[in-house]
């Protein structure tokens, strides 16, 4: 899963089955409408438990199993052809002298990275490392879940392979950050434990249509990793740039799989799929780590998201561009023969990028302020 920032946009959202329990904080009112959820130690679930997909829809996913075998499973990369984290890290098997020299070189390279960059990299690493939350999430989807944790169902085979590939991302970034010596690993590790413990609730209603829409919107975070790679080059760490680029390539392949799934669902069941896309957009796509906490800052998620915006690494503009990409790729504007409800969903989704751009244009320039980040030894950054 990709790092940070999909966001929450202030799009008018009718919450028919959802009970949204936003906590208001002074700081959340100060930030732009884009990233705004507070975090706590033991947050309540935001949505009521619902299974909104009727049983006949489960049959659709069953009928697609052979299609998954032929069109999605080939997007897995064989383990023997996959990169592994150690290939980008100092290698202890080369003997102590070489290892120490490689660590020294790494620590030298990261000296040019800004504190803002480090906060974003920690945020990305934590988002990758919260993989148990995402695998749990996918296995809530009716019709595609892994019933045994080793199910031979093609949907489940894909989910496990995806998780196994994704698992390398967090491992690599975490070890790199650890060796850098520039972040407070104790606070980073605490944040991870809090975050996995809190889980995530994005309101997908155990519904595979809505769940896959959520995942694809998350996979779009590739632009974030690409921007992180560019900044790493600028700040003098080409190895870190290569790491970001390599992770982005994995994410692109994964995005391709989920894009194909939505494409297929639009083909076999356009009305339900179109409504699922609109429904998740209306709920404002929530970041998987929206409940993150480090034991200190109850607004950690919004603070680190603000850094992404301020650094222009991931903003509402990027999100609008991603939506436009998918609208074009899935030819949503050209879908015909939809029910009235699905047509309304189509209009909503197709007009959304324009609304987001308009909101961005109108967004008030907020006064910046200093916020301490525990991950970088409580140094203050402007958000």
Summarize as ranges the residues that interact with Fe ion (CB under 5 A).
Answer: 1, 128, 166, 169
Q: Which CB, 116 or 165, lies closer to Fe ion?
A: 165
Chain-centroid distance of CA 198 in Å reads: 16
Choice between 169 and 264, CB closer to Fe ion: 169
Residue 152 beta carbon to Fe ion: minimum distance, rounded to whole angstroms: 25
Nearer to Fe ion, 169 or 174 (CB): 169
Closer to Fe ion by Cβ: residue 107 or 242: 242
How near is the Cβ of 373 to Fe ion at its closest, in Å? 22
Looking at the Cβ atoms of 246 and 299, the one nearer to Fe ion is 246
Give me the least distance between CB of 38 and Fe ion, in Å please: 25
First-last CA distance in the chain: 26
Nearer to Fe ion, 128 or 205 (CB): 128
Q: Which residue has the tokens 């070189």?
A: 105
Q: Which is nearer to Fe ion, 253 or 260 (CB)?
A: 253
Cβ proximity of 62 and 152 under 8 Å: no
Kindly report the CA angle at 225 between 221 and 228, in degrees rounded to 5? 140
- Shortest Å distance, C-beta 318 to Fe ion: 17
Name the burial class of residue 312, with classes exposed (0-12), middle (13-18) and buried (19+) by CB atoms within 10 angstroms of its CB: exposed
* Residues 227 and 313: beta-carbon distance below 8 Å: yes
Least distance between Fe ion and beta carbon 170 (Å) = 7
Rounded to the nearest 5 degrees, what angle is found at the Cα of 174, between the Cα atoms of 172 and 178?
120
For the CB of residue 236, give the shortest distance to Fe ion in the complex, in Å: 24
Q: How far is the CB of 288 from Fe ion (least distance, A)?
A: 11
Angle between helix 208-219 and 238-268 (nearest 10): 150
């Amino acid at each position: 899963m990709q790092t940070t920032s999909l966001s929450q946009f202030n799009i008018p959202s009718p919450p028919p089955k959802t009970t949204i329990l936003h906590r208001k904080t002074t700081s959340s009112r100060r930030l732009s409408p884009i990233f705004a959820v507070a975090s706590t130690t033991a947050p309540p679930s935001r949505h009521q438990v619902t299974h909104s997909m009727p049983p006949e829809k489960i049959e659709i996913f069953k009928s697609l199993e052979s299609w998954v075998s032929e069109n999605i499973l080939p997007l897995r990369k064989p383990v023997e052809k996959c990169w592994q984290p150690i290939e980008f890290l100092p290698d202890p098997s080369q003997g102590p002298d070489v290892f120490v020299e490689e660590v020294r070189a790494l620590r030298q390279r990261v000296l040019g990275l800004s504190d803002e960059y480090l906060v974003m990299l920690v945020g990305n690493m934590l988002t990758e490392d919260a993989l148990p939350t995402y695998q749990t999430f996918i296995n809530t989807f009716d019709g595609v879940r892994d019933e045994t944790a080793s199910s031979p169902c093609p949907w489940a085979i894909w989910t496990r392979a995806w998780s196994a590939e994704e698992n390398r991302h967090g491992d690599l970034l975490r070890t790199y950050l650890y060796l850098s010596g520039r972040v407070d690993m104790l606070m980073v590790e605490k944040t991870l434990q809090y975050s996995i413990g809190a889980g995530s609730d994005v309101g997908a209603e155990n519904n595979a249509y809505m769940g896959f829409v959520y995942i694809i919107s998350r996979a779009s975070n590739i632009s974030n990793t690409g921007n992180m790679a560019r900044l790493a080059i600028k700040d003098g760490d080409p190895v870190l740039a290569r790491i970001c680029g390599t992770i982005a390539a994995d994410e692109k392949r994964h995005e391709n799989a989920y894009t194909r799934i939505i494409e297929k669902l639009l083909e076999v069941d356009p009305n339900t799929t179109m409504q699922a896309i609109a429904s998740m957009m209306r709920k404002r796509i929530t970041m998987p780590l929206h409940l993150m906490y480090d034991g200190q800052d109850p607004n950690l998620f919004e603070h680190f998201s603000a850094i992404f915006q301020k650094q222009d690494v991931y903003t509402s503009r990027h999100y609008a561009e991603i939506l436009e990409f998918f609208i074009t790729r899935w030819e949503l504007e050209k879908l015909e023969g939809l029910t009235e409800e699905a047509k309304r969903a189509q209009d909503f989704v197709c007009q959304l990028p324009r609304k987001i751009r308009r909101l961005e244009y109108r967004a008030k320039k907020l006064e910046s302020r200093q916020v301490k980040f525990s991950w970088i030894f409580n140094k203050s950054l402007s958000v």
